[in-house]
Amino acid sequence: MIDDAIRVLAGDCTVIAEGQDRSEYRGRVTTLVKPDNTVLVHDIDGYQPVAWLTRADSVSSDRANDFTLVAKKDTQTVRIAAHDQDGFAHYPSSQAGEPIGDCPDCGGALVRASGVHCIDCGTRYGVPADATVHTDGSHCDCGLPRIRVERGLAFNVCLDRACESLDEAVTEAFDREWDCPAADCDGELQILRRGALIAGCEHYPDCDTGFAIPAGVVDGECSCGLPTFDTQTGTRCLDATCEQAHHSAATVETAGDN
């Protein structure tokens, strides 16, 4: 797809960069135009481009004035005139990430980078930032790897949420397991998706009590009556504002300093 392609122009070029100052270069250079319109002009020396423009507002041609590429952003402009082209082409590109398996749809490589995607067909899957993707051959029946996510318990579910729902697994385990701590409220906490997974009072909107479920495993009960979670930063209450939560975190930090 052109939208996901890197454009490459190589040859004898004049490069003019204008902004607060004006610079002009000529040489056999290679110009990369990335899908986000970042323009990088490289010569033979070093790693730093001789000219660049990050996320240009536009990249076009100005054939009337003999410019092969013109990139503009605010008051900055990079103009490239190719006197002798060695090549001008589009090459497919994708985010690079940690390989985690093969795509069951096309056989391409699945990589983890801002979620998980196939570098060939482009299929994408959202993955919680704290999730661990199994790379030991543990696959769902659909052929995708499983992920391990801690939301009260450690759940192993399919990478594709449409195949196995993390929300449904957490709901089955914890829906209405805890009483609403609000004064004069006899409600129970339901598991809901409100951007993140939350435990919210069943009497909403009359009672708007709700808590984001942390990344961790339930390991006890707080003095306020809500569950505590064993997280990467220590033990904390479901209610992040609870004094017990802050006390537990402080205890863990102090112990780590010794």
CB 155 within 8 A of CB 175: no
Rounded CA-CA distance 176/162 in Å is 24
Question: Can you give the residue ranges of every domain in the chain?
Answer: 2-92, 98-161, 172-257
Indicate yes or no: pTM above 0.85.
no
pLDDT per residue of the chain (258 residues) written in tens, 0 to 9? 346 899 999 999 999 999 999 999 999 999 999 999 999 999 999 899 999 999 999 999 988 888 899 999 999 999 999 999 999 999 999 889 999 989 999 999 999 998 999 999 989 999 999 999 987 777 899 999 999 999 999 999 999 999 999 999 999 999 999 999 999 899 999 999 988 899 999 999 999 999 999 999 999 999 999 999 999 999 999 999 986 554 444 444 433 443
Contact 71, 58 (CB under 8 A): yes
**Helix intervals (H) in 114-230:** 166-174
**216 Cβ partners below 8 Å, 6+ apart?**
150, 152, 229, 230, 231, 232, 236
Asked if residues 76 and 18 have their Cβ atoms less than 8 Å apart, the reply is yes
User: Does the 2-92 domain belong in CATH 3.40.920.10?
Assistant: no
**Residue of 84, 67, 88, 125 whose CA lies nearest to 5:** 88
In sequence order, the 6+-apart residues with CB closer than 8 A to the CB of 249 are 233, 234, 235, 236
